[in-house]
Chain A
Amino acid sequence: MALNVEALASQMLGAALPILKKGADDAEAFAKTEFTKIAQTIVAIGEQVAAGQINEKQAALLLDMQTSASRNVLLTLEGLALLAVEAAINAALDVVKGAVNGALGFALIA
């Protein structure tokens, strides 16, 4: 049985795309929630400095803490993206595994 490149590519895309799309949607929702919290805290720090409740040195330290929090959100997004790509690639390979291995007569894709 000959393998059809277009058919294989279409199957692989069909398996991978929904995973990538869902991964992107989930990452967006997570980022929105966490960055909103960080933004609210930054605004609150500014208000407290203006009200004289905390001094500038304390505000700078608190802002550094928010920066580290932002870094951790971005690192999670990076990890979620890797996970989504990993799942998409594996789904794309799985969906054509039978056809490819059957056509070749041996298990190229395990």
Chain B
Amino acid sequence: MPRSSLTRLTPKLRLRVAAVPLSFILMTAVLLGCHVKLIGDYDDAIDKGVTDLQQRSELYFAKLQSSPNTPFDQDFYDDVNSRLAVLKTRASSLPKNTILVEQISNLTSQFEKFEELDKTAKRPIAAGIVKAGESAIAVSVESILRLELALKRGIATPPN
């Protein structure tokens, strides 16, 4: 139903319309007689792989910040790219894992952008470039790990 049509409905009727997909999932679950599974399971290799990647990149960012004349390091990016490719392959092989696959693709794109920045920036590299790049990658890593942690615990609870 188009959004405009939905907004013309009374609140009670809107609630009924919105409840239809949930009722369908519930009915399907009852008919199948089993627990509902909407998203893939926690994967230890992904968790450790992403954490390891974060550790390596934080080390590189710290080096660029403390010694801004550090030359562009192709080996670092080759290593990161191969690790991300392995993580993506693993994520793709796991069922109901499209969200994670997409997240790893976004993280890969971020590293590609930062590689271009690092490669073309004059030395000493501007601290602002490193900080902004590091922050964006950290948000992505935290997002991936936040979801993995929730999957590990089985319910949507935050880390304490």
Contacts and interface: CB of A to CB of B under 8 A. Distances in A.
Interface of A: 12, 19, 22-23, 26-27, 29-30, 34, 37-38, 40-41, 44-45, 48, 53-54, 58, 61-62, 64-66, 68-69, 71-73, 75-76, 78-87, 89-90, 92-93, 107-110
A75 B143 contact: yes
B151 interface: yes
Nearest to B155: A87
Contacts of A44: 128, 131-132
8 cross-chain pairs, A with B, having the tightest CB-CB distances, nearest first: A65-B136, A69-B139, A48-B128, A23-B156, A72-B143, A76-B143, A68-B106, A72-B140
Identify whether the interface residues of A are mostly helix, strand, loop, or mixed. Answer: helix
Identify whether the interface residues of B are mostly helix, strand, loop, or mixed. Answer: helix
Given A66-B136, A72-B144, A61 B113 contact: yes
Nearest to B21: A85
Interface string B100-138: 101100110110011011001100001011011101111
B140 A69 contact: yes
B8 to A, nearest CB: 26
B103 A76 contact: yes
A110 B32 CA distance: 9
B29 interface: yes
A86 B37 CA distance: 6
A10 B151 CA distance: 28
A63 B115 CA distance: 14
B102 A80 contact: no
B85 interface: no
B36 A86 contact: yes
B9 interface: no
Given A58-B117, A75-B103, A87-B156, A68 B109 contact: yes
Given A86-B38, A93-B29, A41 B126 contact: no
B63 to A, nearest CB: 19
B133 A62 contact: yes
A30 B128 contact: no
B3 to A, nearest CB: 19
B158 A64 contact: no
A110 B154 CA distance: 19
Contact of A38 (B99, B107, B139): B139
B66 to A, nearest CB: 18
A73 B157 CA distance: 16
A37 B137 CA distance: 11
